[in-house]
Chains A and B, each alone.
Chain A
Amino acid sequence: MDKKEHISVPGQWPLSSYTWKTERFLDKYVEGLKEKKILGLKCPDCGTVYSPPVSICAKCHTRMRLGEEADWIRVSEMGSVITYTVIYTDVAPGGLKDLAPEERRFFALIQLDDVDTHFLTELKEVSEGEISVGMRVQAVWVDEPQGALSDLAHFVPVEWSI
């Protein structure tokens, strides 16, 4: 508005001074990933299947039973693209830089078959022209799973269909 230098006072919000706590609902899920299995957790009340799991079912206000074997189910490694994006720019010194077509990456919200939730993952082996909402995709595992979320490396289009 005006060009005059104005006095201001610097300050901080030290987010690094906070601790957040959460229940260990991903422990068993990553144990499954180590064996190349995707697990889902079923709400004991309304039956909603979450994968990755959660600790509370918002739909019916029920605490999920993390210790109950019967509530954990193995779910499909195949699913559908709910929606996707293509990354055209990346943060670079001095602002954003455009990515060349071959540098662009694809991310998608995927819903696995038999699961009532979606999650974010990267899509590979796909081109900008091919990718679409509803596209069938399947999981690709890392060679040696460690029991980490990144064991489920990315998803690729399903090359065949039933």
Chain B
Amino acid sequence: MRNVAVVGVGMSKHVSKRRDVNIPELVYEAVRPCFDETGLSPKDIDALVTGNMPAFEGLNTPELWGAGYWGGLRKPALRITTGGTTGMSVAHGAIYMVASGLYDTVLTLAFEKQSDGDTTMGLNSVGLADFANVFEYKGDMESVTLSFGGAIGLFVYQAARYMAKSGCTIDHFDRAAAMLRNNAAKNPYAHLKQPGSTAEDIAATRMLTYPLRYGHTCPASDGAVAMILTSEDRAGKIADKPAWIKGLAACSEVATAIGEYGGGSINIDPTEQRSCRFAANKAYKMAGIEDPTREIDLAEPYIPFAHLLFIYFERLLLCKEGDAPRLFDEGVMDIEGDLPTCPSGAVMSTNAIGASAMERIAECALQIMGRAGEHQASKEVHNAVAHGLGGAANFNTVTVLGDKPNRG
């Protein structure tokens, strides 16, 4: 694949309600800084690749409306939507546009304006048809609705099994949440900032559904992210220190917990995340990374719930299975640690859903460029891994970034 560089990154501030702007205007706040910082204008852009979580805002293909606001008029356009993974699936689309040789410089962006929409019904609509069949065959609807109230429904099952397999406790989740809240406080784009948050503060929040507490969950945000990607021959002219795309992969399994139309699911163990390991292996191989535990300097996994910090640290092959809680205890994942993980504060602190997975790449790029500011990792970042999660924890996407392009 042709080398691809991230040369511009822009993000809007993320808050719970931006009632003063419409969707194209909100996204423009992420796009404008990309152009300002690179000195490029839409004339320099060959294509636009976009997406958001479909069906959350009640707008069908909002790019039809917005792309002109973002410099996309008369450009090739591609809308990609895959659920929670959307932001990274979109970025992968943009990477392939450049890697294919079809285009040289591509603007990519992802967004969500949750305050316009009905997130709960949006999420429920994932399974409406499946639940309808359970209803049709006179299943116990109460158990379905009680145990699947929103996205948390699935993740509690995952968290409980991970605890049993790894031997970690809810206390780990409390401390992970506190670390992420503190990291977010250093990130100017983050939504939920709680400087000085402690594990005790998190532990004092209400248990929603065992084993996850309110303090282990993510907010609903309005926000957007944009990036400019370009080919190797152009990158040096645009940015002094671009971040390079070294590897990418996605992998899809079937949904866990409730199968299609109420059928059984072969995705038996929701903590196994075989698709994540599979994608990570492929992406590392492309990047020439043989031992991610040593060669990866920083990770931005997709963590909307606290327990996922441990699961994805392991499934991204950054340690042996079951070791994540111990490494966390040793401070490895801290901003000052050996393998800083989610210095941005993660999706747990900022969740404009469609944008979230692209923000993982954007955050890795900022860290490699040395432009993360207060949440810049202490160690020098040569290689970083970004991750996206979607569907019913059955879509995984992985992107490996580095400070040097691939050779050979």
A and B touch in the complex (CB under 8 A): yes
Interface of A toward B, CB cutoff 8 Å? 1-2, 4, 6, 8, 11-13, 15, 20, 22, 25-26, 30, 48, 50-56, 58-59, 82-91, 96, 98, 105, 107, 109, 111, 115-122, 128, 132-134, 146, 148-150
Across-interface contacts of B138 in A (CB, < 8 A): 30, 146, 148-150
Nearest A residue (CB) for B15: A1
Residue of B nearest to A43 (CB): B266
- B258, A120: Cβ atoms under 8 Å? yes
Report the minimal beta-carbon distance from A53 to chain B, rounded to whole angstroms.
6
- Given the known A-B contacts A89-B208, A118-B268, A119-B264, are A84 and B160 also in contact in the complex, defined by CB atoms under 8 Å? yes
B240 at the interface (CB under 8 A from A): no
Chain B residues 244-290 with CB under 8 Å of chain A are 254, 256-266, 268-271
What residues of B have a CB within 8 angstroms of the CB of A117 in the complex? 259, 263-266, 268
In the complex formed, the residue of A with least CB distance to B164 is A133
User: Shortest beta-carbon distance, A87 to chain B, in Å?
Assistant: 6
A-B contact pairs, 13 of them (CB 8 A): A20-B132, A50-B263, A50-B264, A52-B259, A54-B260, A83-B160, A84-B157, A85-B156, A116-B266, A119-B264, A121-B143, A122-B140, A148-B139
In-complex Cβ contact of B206 among A59, A98, A133, A148 (8 A): A98
Q: A26-B137, A89-B206, A146-B138 are in contact. Are A107 and B147 (CB under 8 A)?
A: yes
* Chain A CB within 8 A of B125 CB: yes
Q: Which 10 A-B pairs have the closest CB atoms?
A: A117-B264, A148-B138, A149-B139, A133-B164, A54-B263, A86-B210, A83-B161, A20-B129, A6-B19, A107-B147
Evaluate contact between B133 and A22: CB separation under 8 angstroms.
yes
Please indicate the chain A residues that have their CB under 8 angstroms from the CB of B326 in the complex: none
With A and B bound together, what is the CA distance between A98 and B207 in angstroms? 8
A118's nearest neighbour on chain B, judged by CB, is B268
Q: How far is the CB of B123 from chain A (nearest CB, A)?
A: 12
Q: Is the CB of B17 within 8 A of A1?
A: yes
Q: Is the CB of B58 within 8 A of A13?
A: yes
B209 contacts A by Cβ under 8 Å = yes
For B210, the chain A residues whose CB sits under 8 A away are 85-88, 128
Whether A85 contacts B137 by the Cβ 8 Å rule is no
Report chain B residues within 8 Å CB of A50. Answer: 259, 263-264, 266
Task: Tell whether, in the assembled complex, residue A58 and residue B254 are in contact, meaning their CB atoms are under 8 Å apart.
Answer: yes
B73, CB-defined interface residue at 8 Å: no
**B137, B207, B208, B211: the one within 8 Å of A149 (CB):** B137
Bound state CA distance, A117 and B262, in angstroms? 12
State in angstroms the CA–CA spacing of A121 and B257 once bound together: 10
- Tell me the smallest distance from the CB of A63 to a CB of chain B, in Å: 13
A25 to B261, CA, bound (A): 9
Q: How far is the CA of A98 from the CA of B205 in the complex (A)?
A: 12
Closest chain A CB from B401 CB (angstroms) = 32
Least Cβ distance of B398 to chain A in Å?
21
A83–B20 CA distance with the chains assembled, in angstroms: 44
Interchain CA distance A91-B208 in the complex, whole Å: 11
Bound CA–CA A8/B158 (angstroms): 39
**In angstroms, how far is the closest chain B Cβ from the Cβ of A160?**
23
**A6 CB contacts on chain B under 8 angstroms:** 19-20
Contact B143 A30 (CB under 8 A): no
